[in-house]
Amino acid sequence: MLLKAISLSRSYGHDSTTTVALRDASFDLMDGEFVAIMGPSGSGKSTLMNIIGLLDRPTSGSLIFAGEHTANMSPDHAARLRNCRIGFVFQSYNLLGRNTALENVELPLVYAGVRRRERELRAAEALDKVGLSDKAQRWPLQLSGGEQQRIAIARALVTDPALILADEPTGALDSRTGNEIMALLQHLNEQGRTIIMVTHDDIVGSHASRIIRLQDGTIIGDQDVPDRLLTGPTGRKLRGWGVTGFG
């Protein structure tokens, strides 16, 4: 088991102005799962993701990540765990415009204090995994949206994290490019990567092997997807198992 959420709740404000964003959310996450957290805007998806990603703390309940109770974890320890054990992929890519693709991928290793030569080697390897070795010295503005998202995925991979958190990873992309990103995420999952993806899109969510549904801050469904939608490397949608085409 990689993660255990026990009655997680999160509220904001005080007394009559209190807003409950998450209510008694409980679930387990096993190594190697690909889970989609789904629900409409305001359902609590982002709140839950922020707690899982150690960016926020619950008002009540507890979270156990990689065997560690996070409730009393110091901010410094949480930051180290977040940097080394969790890889983040965002809808807007969050790349630094004044850094090359390689330098953007290196950033988590910079924060971890890894020496320059090792950083460069590991960043180059991560770029190779997403098929962008030839774009290492390009600036973000020289890359397409799909290529920028691949760079962001490489950055998430570079620390060899236990968990990848993807927040609407196809939200800023056209459907064909979005299919290619989903094919890449599925391929990484088949290689053993554990992924939690937040999305409001049913088609995107159907690529996961398990869906947790939220409504008004409450988990209303948690089920496996026995016949998930797979996307081949050319963007062709397939039903069944097995994604190939990425190194």
Tell me how far apart the alpha carbons of residues 51 and 205 are, in angstroms, rounded to a whole number.
Answer: 20
Cα–Cα dist 174/195, whole Å: 22
CATH code, domain with 67? 3.40.50.300
Do residues 101 and 136 make contact, with C-beta atoms less than 8 angstroms apart?
yes
Q: Among positive and negative, which fits the CA dihedral 119, 130, 159, 197?
A: positive
Question: Domain count of the chain?
Answer: 1
> How far is the C-alpha of 86 from the C-alpha of 162, rounded, in Å?
6
Q: Are 246 and 131 in contact (CB under 8 A)?
A: yes
Predicted local distance difference test score (pLDDT) of residue 226 = 79
How deeply is 47 buried, as exposed, middle or buried, from its count of CB atoms within 10 A (0-12, 13-18, 19+)? buried
Residue 144 in tokens: 């397409």
pLDDT value at position 244? 36
Question: Looking at the domain assignment, is residue 84 inside a domain?
Answer: yes
Is residue 245 assigned to a domain?
no
Q: Considering the domain boundaries, does residue 244 fall inside one? A: no
Residue 146 lies in a domain: yes
Domain limits for position 201: 3-12+19-239
Along the chain (247 residues), what's the average pLDDT of each consecutive run of 10 residues? 96 85 97 96 94 95 95 92 94 95 97 95 96 96 96 96 96 92 94 95 93 97 85 51 39
Query: So what's the pLDDT on residue 237?
Result: 56
247 assigned to some structural domain? no
Does 69 reside within a domain?
yes
- CA 133-137-143 angle, 5° bins: 80
Q: What is the pTM for the complete model shown?
A: 0.90
Q: Are 238 and 225 in contact (CB under 8 A)?
A: no
Q: Is 136 part of a structural domain of the chain?
A: yes
Has residue 77 been placed in a domain?
Answer: yes
